[in-house]
Amino acid sequence: MKSIKDVNFSGRKVILRVDFNVPVDENRNITDDTRIRESLPTIKKLLSDGASIILVAHFGRPKNGFEDAFSLKPVAQRLSELIHQPVQFTQELLGPNVEAMAKALKPKEVMLLENIRFYPGETKGDVALAEQLSKLGDCYVNDAFGTAHREHSSTATIARFFPKDKYFGLLMENEIKNLNYLLDKPEHPFTAIIGGSKISTKIDILNNLIPKVDNMIIIGGMRYTFTKALGGKIGNSIHEDDKLETAKELMKKMDEMGVKYYMPIDCIVVDRFANDANRKIVKGDEIPDGWEAVDCGPKSSELFREVILKSKTILWNGPAGVFEMPNFAKGTNSIAKDVAEACGHGSYAAVGGGDSVAAVQKMQLAERMSYVSTGGGAMLEYLEGKTLPGIKAILD
Ligand code: ADP
Ligand code: MG
């Protein structure tokens, strides 16, 4: 696995790629430091070995080089509070001064480079930038699962300069182990719950999971493309007309492979897209003209609960409704509770996806899940069966 667990980094200078892309408010105060805290096990392990650490991270999507609004400075401060020691911050971009700082770094000291995306080469996977970075340390550790699906200089290209000295950090290792469990050796029955707004973003994951699962629960807005393909009435509900054939093929594939699939039998419909709109409960495939579905209904929740509680392995990606509006969060919250309950009975459940994880956190149920992925896009691509450049670069 090339895990840092098996190596002692005493006296080494570790270039550690982390995901510090935290949300901030308009005054650039960090509103959620989860991502920083998730990198602490790796940072602490390296420090307790006696390594010095050169942290590399990105923040937002700066377009034209240095911009104060995209500086990692607030992150350096927060990290310093969390590890109770100074974090040297290189306000300057790469060059002789930064190299001198890295060189002078003593064991157990930490420095953080300014936002690596200030270099246009980063997102292009530029080799010269990767080489320049590589000179700052004597080994490379990637713990940035959230960007593992990107072939960038600091997430992939750099690894080639450390053919024998590249490793996964603890977060990355944990993500890979959990995702491999789902893909390679899940206990059955295995139920995938896939939702969200658009079927077009979930086709690949559905295709890759169908041969592996026993049950598929299809929820959220994407469900209405399936319903329309089946000839149901969907009113104004969200759907993608160019994916009707795809939906039919997916259902055919599930039938052929003996996958039982479930969709909401009832749903909450509204006369306009607002939390305080008029609403009523109708059958899942009988949505009246002028109304749109925004959540699944209570009968659906009961049906899903039965399936979830009978499952040994559960993967959940994509909310059941427009959970951002409190009146339409019931379906999503009910799934979150049921999945947590299944974990309490010894089932294994993984939750992933930016919005799904937000829903679970809002319900304060994250701790009760077996595993909550930190990488939205990266996790999806892994479950789609794709090779992630950040992972491949370490394994090659
Ligand atoms: P994740 O980030 O967990 O992968 P997605 O991004 O695929 O999830 O989907 C989340 C979005 O889907 C949420 O913003 C939610 O409001 C939306 N959504 C769910 N159900 C519906 C629906 N019936 N109509 C419109 N949007 C929906
Ligand atoms: Mg999302």
Q: Decide whether any atom of ligand 1 lies within 6 Å of the 372 Cβ.
A: no
Half-sphere exposure of 256 (CA within 13 A, CB side): 9
Q: What is the distance in A from the centroid of ligand 1 to the CA of 279? A: 19
Among this protein's residues, is 272 annotated catalytic? no
Closest to 45 in 3D by CA, of 7, 98, 71, 19: 7
Q: Is 240 in the pocket of ligand 1 (CB under 6 A)?
A: no
Q: Whose CA is nearest to atom 26 of ligand 1?
A: 197
At 99 the pLDDT is 95
The predicted-structure confidence for 274-308, as pLDDT tens digits, reads as follows 999 999 999 999 999 999 999 999 999 999 999 99
User: Which residue has its alpha carbon closest to ligand 1 atom 16?
Assistant: 322
pLDDT in tens, 13-35: 999 999 999 989 988 899 989 99
Closest-CA residue, ligand 1 atom 21, reads 221
| Beta carbon of 221 within 6 Å of any ligand 1 atom | yes
pLDDT at 376 over 90: no
Q: Is the CATH number of domain 4-172 3.30.420.40?
A: no
| Number of Cβ within a 10 Å radius of residue 253 | 14
Q: DSSP secondary structure string, 242-283?
A: GGHHHHHHHHHHHHHTT-EEE--SEEEEESSSSTTS-EEEEE
Q: Which of 194, 197, 217, 273 for a ligand 1 pocket mutation test, highest count of atoms within 8 Å of Cβ?
A: 197
% of residues, the chain, pLDDT over 70: 100
> What pLDDT does 91 receive?
81
What local confidence, expressed as pLDDT, does residue 110 receive?
98
Name the average pLDDT for the chain: 96
Look at ligand 1, atom 5, and give the residue with the nearest C-alpha. 196
What is the Cα–Cα distance from 301 to 123, expressed in whole angstroms?
Answer: 42
CB 320 within 8 A of CB 219: yes
List the chain domain ranges.
Answer: 4-172, 186-383
pLDDT value of residue 62: 94
Cβ pair 9, 49 in contact under 8 A = yes
Domain 186-383: CATH superfamily, name plus number: Phosphoglycerate kinase, N-terminal domain (3.40.50.1260)
Using one digit for the tens of pLDDT, what is the confidence trace for 223-259? 999 999 999 999 999 999 999 999 999 999 999 999 9
Catalytic one of 50, 60, 232, 377: 377
- Which ligand 1 atom lies nearest to the CA of residue 201? 7
| DSSP 8-state symbol, 157 | G
Per-residue DSSP letters for 314-344? EEEES-SS-TTSGGG-HHHHHHHHHHHHHHH
For the question of residue 377 being annotated catalytic, the response is yes
Is ligand 1 within 6 A of the CB of residue 293?
A: yes
Report the C-alpha gap between 67 and 64 in whole angstroms: 8
CA distances from 129 to 110, 297, 374 (A): 21, 53, 27
In the annotation, is 35 catalytic?
A: yes
Q: Does 322 contact ligand 1 (Cβ within 6 A)?
A: yes
Q: How far is the CA of 46 from the centre of ligand 1 (A)?
A: 39
Q: What is the pLDDT of residue 93?
A: 76
Q: pTM (2 decimals)? A: 0.93
Task: Cis check for the bond before 74: say yes or no (omega within 30 of 0).
Answer: no
d(CA 121, CA 152): 8
Q: Spell out the alpha helix ranges (H) of 139-239.
A: 170-184, 203-209, 223-229
Q: What is the pLDDT of residues 127-155, one digit of tens each?
A: 999 999 999 999 999 999 999 999 999 99
Which two three-digit tokens encode residue 307?
Answer: 């399936």
354 alpha carbon, closest ligand: 1
Q: Are 17 and 143 in contact (CB under 8 A)?
A: yes
Return the ligand 1 atom nearest residue 198 CA.
7
- How much is the pLDDT for 65? 87
In whole angstroms, what is the distance from residue 67 CA to residue 54 CA?
22
Q: Is the pLDDT score of 1 beyond 90?
A: no
| C-alpha span between 32 and 40 (Å, rounded) | 15
- Using DSSP's 3-state secondary structure scheme, residue 13 falls into strand
As a whole-number percent, the residues of the chain with pLDDT over 90 amount to 93
> CB of 284 closer than 6 A to ligand 1?
no
- Any ligand 1 atom below 6 A from CB of 186: no
Instruction: Among 355, 361, 362, say which to mutate for ligand 1: greatest number of ligand atoms within 8 Å of CB.
Output: 355
d(CA 385, CA 206): 11
- Please work out whether the CB of residue 319 comes within 6 Å of at least one atom of ligand 1: yes
For residues 43 and 111, the answer to whether their CB atoms sit within 8 Å is no
- Which ligand lies nearest to the CA atom of residue 356 in the structure? 1
- pLDDT bracket for residue 374 (50, 70, 90): confident
Whether 4-172 and 186-383 share one fold: the answer is yes
d(CA 291, CA 339): 30
Of the pLDDT bands very low, low, confident and very high (cuts 50, 70, 90), residue 386 is very high
Strand, coil or helix: 11? coil
Q: Which residues does 246 contact at the CB level (< 8 Å), separation at least 6?
A: 199, 203
- The DSSP line for 64-124 is SS--GGG-SHHHHHHHHHHHTS-EEEE-SPSSHHHHHHHHHPPTT-EEEES-GGGSTTGGG
Active site residue 386: no
What does each C-alpha distance from 234 to 41, 194, 293 come to in angstroms?
A: 48, 19, 8
Contacts of 233 (CB under 8 A, 6+ apart): 285, 286, 287, 288
Q: Compute the average pLDDT of residues 258-270.
A: 98
Mind listing the pLDDT tens digit for each residue in 47-102? Answer: 999 999 999 999 999 998 899 999 999 999 999 999 999 999 998 778 999 999 99
pLDDT per residue as tens digits for the range 309-362: 999 999 999 999 999 999 999 999 999 999 999 999 999 999 999 899 999 999
